[in-house]
Amino acid sequence: MTDTVLTRVANRTGVITLDRPKALNSLSLDMVRSLTAILRAWEHDAGIDAVVITSTSEKALCAGGDIRFFHEMGHAGPMGGSALLEDFFTEEYALNHLIHFYPKPYIAMMDGVVMGGGMGIAQGGPDCGLRIVTERSKVAMPEVNIGLFPDVGGSHFLSHAPGQLGQYLGLTGLTIGAADAIYVGLADLFVPGEKMGALMALVDSTPGGELPAAIRAFAAPFAGQAGASELQAQRGVIDAHFGAASVAGVMASLARDENPFAQKALKAMRQRSPLMMCVTRELLLRGAALDVADCLRMERNLVRRNFEHGEVLEGVRALVIDKDNAPKWNPATLEEVSAEMVERFFEPVWPEYAHPLRHLA
The answer to whether 190 and 182 are in contact (CB under 8 A) is: yes
Please measure the distance between the N-terminal and C-terminal CA atoms of the chain and give it in whole angstroms: 26
From CA 247, how far away is CA 260, in angstroms rounded?
19
β-pairing verdict for 5-10 and 13-18: antiparallel
At how many degrees (to 10) do helices 339-346 and 274-287 cross? 60
Report the C-alpha gap between 297 and 290 in whole angstroms. 10
Q: What are phi and psi of 113, to 5 degrees?
A: -75, 125
Catalytic residues: 65, 117, 143, 151
How many other CB atoms sit within 10 Å of the CB of residue 248? 15
Dihedral angle sign, alpha carbons of residues 21, 183, 288, 52: positive
* Those residues with Cβ within 8 angstroms of residue 329's Cβ, 6 or more apart along the chain or in another chain: 147, 273, 274, 275, 311, 314, 315
